[in-house]
Amino acid sequence: MAMQMCNRRVTQVTTNLVRQIAKPIPMKVEDDHHDDDHTHIAVPKTPTPRTFFSMNKHLLRGNAAITTGLSSALSVRHAHTDIQVPSFDYYRRKARLDASKSHRDDGDTTSPYSYLTPLGMAVTSAYMAKYIVRDIVSYVGPAKDVMSLAKVEISLDAVPEGKNAVFEWRNKPIFVRHRTAEEIAREEGVNVSQLRHPQNDSERVKKSEWLIVIGICTHLGCIPIANAGDYGGYYCPCHGSHYDASGRIRKGPAPLNLEVPQYTFKDEQTVIIG
């Protein structure tokens, strides 16, 4: 559209770059096919630039325009004033055609799309940021009702002495056993070093008359039966693991004692598990 033909000053320049013409060196080569004396021409290899310095020598510097082709010779033009930058006025807005005017206060005559598009992008990204931040915050600090799903509060009045009650906590059965004094005495008198999983009774209970354990057999996950087995505690019917009244494994294939969950006594009659 705004093409201009201009006079070009062209200099024919060949740099020290390419096309080193090597002188042919006559050479004799042992060849079975030719018995007569032929001169074999070998062209010595141009040194390939390997180092930074030698590659640097091949660079063109400065304003340069290179034209080459099948018909024209290789020409390198170092241009200063004879390169014409074409006029782009066809593509500019009418208000911006004058280069010397100040456009600082031109905002209200600008097309509204120039401002609405960035605003739309800003609103979309702020929307995404709001959701991401909200999800992170709710993950790091969950609401109280979500946290309360992880705990269960048990009233201990329901468990008479000598009996074992089962409660559900996080989809697992919890055995709450109200132990009699003789059971306590028996458990405390056990030789801990003989046990498969040596644990003192005192480190498994907070108050010795209340044994709270997770009722899942540590062998393969069946639920033991209370007040059964040879040791006055629990007996797992699946593979015959015997636990005592402190939930410790005594006989059978289970490797570990019954797990003791985290719990606190809110007052004398209620316990919060988890």
Partner 1 sequence: MSLTKTVYNLFFRRSANIALATVIGVFAYERIINKSAEYIYERRNQGKLWKHVQPQFKLKTDEDEEENSGS
| Strand bridging mode 210-214 / 225-228 | unpaired
Would you call 63 helix, strand, or coil by DSSP?
Answer: coil
Beta-carbon contacts of residue 215 (< 8 Å; ≥ 6 apart): 166, 172, 173, 174, 175, 223, 224, 234, 258
State the number of binding residues for partner 1 (CB under 8 A): 12
* Shortest Å distance, C-beta 107 to partner 1: 5
Strand ranges inside the chain, DSSP E: 25-27, 40-42, 65-67, 75-77, 152-155, 164-169, 172-178, 210-214, 225-228, 232-236, 241-244, 249-251, 263-267, 270-273
Tell me the window of 11-19, 27-35, 38-46, 116-124 that interacts with partner 1 (CB under 8 A).
116-124
* Shortest Å distance, C-beta 132 to partner 1: 13
Distance CA 211, CA 205 (A): 6
Instruction: State phi, psi for 215 to the nearest 5 degrees.
Output: -85, 55
Give the residue, chosen from 9, 40, 57, 130, that forms a contact with partner 1 under the rule CB under 8 A.
130
* Shortest Å distance, C-beta 110 to partner 1: 8
How many angstroms separate the Cα of 231 from the Cα of each of 49, 196, 248?
88, 14, 10
127 in contact with partner 1 (CB under 8 A): yes
66 in contact with partner 1 (CB under 8 A): no
Catalytic positions, please?
Answer: 239
245: number of Cβ within 10 Å: 24
Give the residue, chosen from 108, 145, 157, 267, that forms a contact with partner 1 under the rule CB under 8 A.
108
134 in contact with partner 1 (CB under 8 A): no
Query: Of 149, 156, 268, whose CA–CA distance to 212 is shortest?
Result: 156
107 in contact with partner 1 (CB under 8 A): yes
- Closer to partner 1 at the Cβ: 116 or 149? 116
Beta-carbon contacts of residue 74 (< 8 Å; ≥ 6 apart): 14, 66, 67, 68
* Shortest Å distance, C-beta 145 to partner 1: 23
Distance CA 147, CA 33 (A): 93
69 in contact with partner 1 (CB under 8 A): no
* Shortest Å distance, C-beta 97 to partner 1: 21
Give the residue, chosen from 22, 65, 122, 185, that forms a contact with partner 1 under the rule CB under 8 A.
122
* Shortest Å distance, C-beta 74 to partner 1: 53
- Closer to partner 1 at the Cβ: 125 or 270? 125
Give the residue, chosen from 13, 119, 132, 256, that forms a contact with partner 1 under the rule CB under 8 A.
119
Residues of this chain that bind partner 1 (CB under 8 A): 107-108, 110, 112, 115, 119, 122-124, 126-127, 130
